[in-house]
Amino acid sequence: MATLRKQYAVSRYVYSEDSFGEDYEKVYRVRKTTLDHVKEYLTCDSKRAKNAVLSLLPIIGWMRIYRVREWLLGDVVSGISTGLIAIMQGLAFSLLASLPPSYGLYTAFFPMLTYFFLGTSRHISVGSFPVLSLMVGAVVTRLVPDEGPPANITGFEGLTQDQQRVLVASSVTFLMGIFQLAMGVLQVGFIVVYLSDTLVSGFTTAAAVHILVSQLKFVLGLTVPGISGPLSIIYTLEKIFVQITSTNICDLVMSILIMAMVFIVKELNDIYKAKLPVPIPIEVIMTVIACGVSYGFNFEKRYDVEIVGKMVSGYEPPMAPNVEVFQESAVEAFPIAIVGFAVAFSVAKVYSIKHDYTIDGNQELIAFGISNIFGASFRSFAASTALSRTAVQESSGGKTQIAGLISAMMAMIVTVALGFLLEPLPRSVLGALVIVNLKGMLMQFREIPYLWRRDKTECLVWLGTCLGAILLGLDLGLVVGLGVELLTVVFRSQFPRCSVLANINGTDLYRDRKDYLHIFEPKGVKIFRIPSPIFFANIEFFRDKLVEAVGFNPLRVLRKRNKALRKIKKQLQQKDDDITERGSRDLVCQTTEESYMNMEELDQPTDLKGFPFQMDWNAELPSNVDVPRVDLHSLILDFSAVSFLDISAMKGLKMALKEFIRIDVDVYIVACDVYIVEKLHMCMFFDDEILTSMFFPTLHDAMLHVLEKHKDDTKNGWVLRDTRL
């Protein structure tokens, strides 16, 4: 297959786009207008109504196909194992949110109840997510700091510090739910495409660093006030290292033991994945042991270890969110809403592809929005999904959200009946469990060299997002990362490598002239390739490159010619007063109203009216007239890679083309997208100088046309090789 010796033979007319259009007429297609789309969108019939209900309540869809015998057992087993993890994670992640541990159990219960009916994913485990918990925690510690008075919010009166914090957390969650619901209703779920893999990787790595730092105080048994805002991570580390000598040795030893055990057993789980029916639930085992030991040896009293303490037993009545907190935290709730949805959606997508069903981004937004609003009313905090928990739910046999419901029931049982068993658990154990689970996220640092080798720009996005999020905090860091990422798209099109093309001898192919030896470049013709879209940020760059490629500045040539002409006319006039002066006077002064926005007015084309003979600028001129010689008669622009043009680019292009046309260089545009030509027509690009006849379908068509047109130009100073390509 490598070398094909089959013949390529084409024989047809040379086409310009115009003549091609004459020979092959275009089919007239009626395009839908925006109005049509709106009408279509608003049309309602029974089928559409039914579909709308089905898409709003996805549970109907999967309940109808539920295979009780095959799926139920798997769902139950999976629900129980996921439930154990959800309880552990709920307790641990509530520490990240700076809340009492029992509220983590609420988060494992309430949001699931509504997601069960509304969610399109059958495999994700809805509940707390460490990054989200940390982001909520940042708001909580900002409004209700450990030291100093809380923010000036009327709703705080008469509440304990923990109650104030729960109020803040649930209000932020409520607001986040409103944002998600609104985005879902407005059908803007697509915005998650802007969170590229690279950005998400950098962001979650930064989150892991934040989580690590925030858990250090538990592991070391120190009391460090939560700090939020830019550079908070540095201040927190400073506070920790200042009091590092007061480390609680009991906490530290226990944490290190637990981390080591969990780490080792997890590695073993990985290695013997195939042989174990279910992975060893080492975290649950360690928690139970730690609870027992702590209770038996009375760690709290004897070693001054901070324990989970009094759990709220049962549920509290629902609570309205606080509007003042909304005002204070609106800027932070929006990134929380985006991150929460983006994570859940990307995890859900992986499993939907694996199990071959469709998920709907907008419906997911609605589901998470309502779940968070519902959960927040019952004091749970921001819910999304955790990758690790979802992996367990799916791998232990979960087929539908029945598994999720069962895991929620497990959380309920602990809240209602078994909470007291967890009371002696040291907080350092929870911290240790959080830290040991960061391994995967922190491993993402390995992407730096990987990206650096492959794509420096992408590496920049990763580093920008990660450093931004570490130093400025997660919300600002996300904004910085997004900014950098969008800039890279602009940047990639902004400084592309332009090239001058030449014909490859004996073919109809054109390549970069610097790359090949056997090339054919007829004199007086330049082929310039524009390898990217043209827009406001690179049009000047292209004009500079074009001037560089042709070797002269057409505007300057035009001016010199006009100046020379005035001189010659004057000389002629001295000889012969018959020739009217009008032509020469208005030559440079007259200006056209190009456009009222267009400040750079072009010089006029050389005016040869009322001039007794044809001017040949490349012939010998009188010695007192100095005009640069132009050995170019045709400029061919390869537009095949120009995927869009904006108004600035169009103005700049028009000016550039006119400059060349006015010094008698024919300009051809080749392989231009049909939509771009349409747009040029719409924007009045064409006039009496810029004609539609300059478009050609291929480079070779344009070249053949040029060679034909200039075949007897040799007398003009251009030497053309008389050759058939």
Considering only residues 593 through 612, tell me which ones interact with a second copy, judged by CB under 8 A.
596-597, 599-600
Q: Which is nearer to a second copy, 37 or 492 (CB)?
A: 492
Q: Which is nearer to a second copy, 376 or 501 (CB)?
A: 501
In contact, 82 and 125? CB cutoff 8 Å: yes
Query: Nearest CA to 533 among 703, 424, 417, 675?
Result: 675
End-to-end CA distance of the chain: 27
Residue choice 117, 698, 717, 718 for contact with a second copy (CB under 8 A): 698
Per CB under 8 A, which of residues 139..158 are in contact with a second copy?
none
What's the min distance (Å) between Cβ of 517 and a second copy? 6
Radius of gyration of the chain (CA): 36
Per CB under 8 A, which of residues 334..353 are in contact with a second copy?
350, 353
Q: Fill in the DSSP letter of residue 476.
A: H
Torsion 514-515-516-521 (CA) sign: negative
Compute φ and ψ for 503, nearest 5 degrees: -75, 135
What's the min distance (Å) between Cβ of 201 and a second copy? 7
Residue choice 7, 43, 574, 624 for contact with a second copy (CB under 8 A): 7
Residue choice 120, 705, 706, 710 for contact with a second copy (CB under 8 A): 705
Q: Which is nearer to a second copy, 150 or 531 (CB)?
A: 531
Q: Which is nearer to a second copy, 145 or 697 (CB)?
A: 697
Site track for a second copy across 18-37, x = CB under 8 A: xxx-x-xxxx-x--------
What's the min distance (Å) between Cβ of 164 and a second copy? 28
Helix (H) or strand (E) holding 461: helix 456-472
Of 6-14, 123-131, 209-217, 251-259, the window that binds a second copy (rule: CB under 8 A) is 6-14
Q: Which is nearer to a second copy, 440 or 612 (CB)?
A: 440
Q: Which is nearer to a second copy, 497 or 715 (CB)?
A: 497
Q: Which is nearer to a second copy, 185 or 353 (CB)?
A: 353
Q: Which is nearer to a second copy, 507 or 571 (CB)?
A: 507
- How far is C-alpha 292 from the geometric centre of its chain's CA atoms? 48
Per CB under 8 A, which of residues 40..99 are in contact with a second copy?
none
What's the min distance (Å) between Cβ of 454 and a second copy? 5
Site track for a second copy across 195-234, x = CB under 8 A: -xxx--x---------------------------------
In contact, 120 and 367? CB cutoff 8 Å: yes
Report how far apart, in Å, the C-alpha atoms of 49 and of each of 55, 366, 607 are.
10, 18, 69
What's the min distance (Å) between Cβ of 233 and a second copy? 21
Q: Which is nearer to a second copy, 241 or 516 (CB)?
A: 516
Torsion 510-516-518-520 (CA) sign: positive
What's the min distance (Å) between Cβ of 555 and a second copy? 8
11 near a second copy, judged by CB under 8 A: yes
575 near a second copy, judged by CB under 8 A: no
What's the min distance (Å) between Cβ of 430 and a second copy? 28
Residue choice 390, 437, 538, 562 for contact with a second copy (CB under 8 A): 538
Q: Which is nearer to a second copy, 75 or 458 (CB)?
A: 458
Burial of 148 (0-12, 13-18, 19+ CB in 10 A): exposed
Per CB under 8 A, which of residues 474..533 are in contact with a second copy?
483, 485-490, 492-494, 496-497, 504, 506-509, 511-512, 514-518, 531-533
Of 11-19, 255-263, 311-319, 656-664, the window that binds a second copy (rule: CB under 8 A) is 11-19
- Using CB under 8 A, count the residues that bind a second copy: 110
**What token pair was written down for 106?**
């609420």
The residue with tokens 């030509």 is 677
Phi-psi region of 127 (alpha: psi -120 to 50; beta: other; left: phi over 0): left
Of 1-9, 133-141, 170-178, 413-421, the window that binds a second copy (rule: CB under 8 A) is 1-9
Torsion 605-610-611-615 (CA) sign: positive
Q: Where are the alpha helices (DSSP H) in 221-322?
A: 232-242, 249-271, 282-296, 299-302
Q: Which is nearer to a second copy, 84 or 195 (CB)?
A: 195
Q: Which is nearer to a second copy, 251 or 485 (CB)?
A: 485
144 vs 69: CA distance, rounded Å: 51
What's the min distance (Å) between Cβ of 332 and a second copy? 17
Helix axis angle, 323-354 to 387-395, nearest 10°: 40
Q: Which is nearer to a second copy, 14 or 213 (CB)?
A: 14
Residue choice 77, 289, 641, 690 for contact with a second copy (CB under 8 A): 641
What's the min distance (Å) between Cβ of 296 and a second copy? 43
Of 76-84, 131-139, 402-410, 704-712, the window that binds a second copy (rule: CB under 8 A) is 704-712
708 near a second copy, judged by CB under 8 A: yes
What's the min distance (Å) between Cβ of 367 and a second copy? 21
Report how far apart, in Å, the C-alpha atoms of 600 and of each of 321, 541, 705 are.
58, 17, 33
Query: Nearest CA to 530 among 495, 489, 505?
Result: 495
Q: Which is nearer to a second copy, 403 or 530 (CB)?
A: 530
Q: How many Cα atoms sit within 13 Å of 255 on the Cβ side?
A: 25
DSSP 293-342: HHHHTTHHHHS---B--PPPPS-PPP-PPPHHHHHHHHHHHHHHHHHHHH
Which pairing describes strands 634-638 and 525-529: parallel, antiparallel, or unpaired?
parallel
514 vs 278: CA distance, rounded Å: 62
Q: Which is nearer to a second copy, 22 or 40 (CB)?
A: 22
What's the min distance (Å) between Cβ of 55 and a second copy? 18
274 vs 269: CA distance, rounded Å: 9
Question: What secondary structure, in 3-state letters, does 110-140 show?
Answer: HHHHHHHHHCCCCCCCEECCHHHHHHHHHHH
**What token pair was written down for 553?**
């500045």
Which residues partner with 422 through β-bridges?
Answer: none
Q: What angle do CA 140, 143, 149 make, to 5 degrees?
A: 125
What's the min distance (Å) between Cβ of 538 and a second copy? 8
103 vs 106: CA distance, rounded Å: 5
What's the min distance (Å) between Cβ of 66 and a second copy? 21
540 near a second copy, judged by CB under 8 A: yes
Per CB under 8 A, which of residues 664..683 are in contact with a second copy?
671, 673-675, 679, 682-683
Per CB under 8 A, which of residues 413..472 are in contact with a second copy?
446-447, 450-451, 453-455, 457-458
Per CB under 8 A, which of residues 94..123 are in contact with a second copy?
none
Burial of 553 (0-12, 13-18, 19+ CB in 10 A): middle
What's the min distance (Å) between Cβ of 462 and a second copy? 10
272 near a second copy, judged by CB under 8 A: no
Residue choice 42, 65, 193, 619 for contact with a second copy (CB under 8 A): 193
647 vs 625: CA distance, rounded Å: 39
What's the min distance (Å) between Cβ of 563 and a second copy? 11
What's the min distance (Å) between Cβ of 113 and a second copy? 29
Three-class SS state of 527: strand
Q: Which is nearer to a second copy, 369 or 496 (CB)?
A: 496
Q: Which is nearer to a second copy, 323 or 684 (CB)?
A: 684
Q: Which is nearer to a second copy, 1 or 619 (CB)?
A: 1
Which pairing describes strands 510-512 and 519-520: parallel, antiparallel, or unpaired?
unpaired
420 vs 31: CA distance, rounded Å: 67
Q: Fill in the DSSP letter of residue 416.
A: I
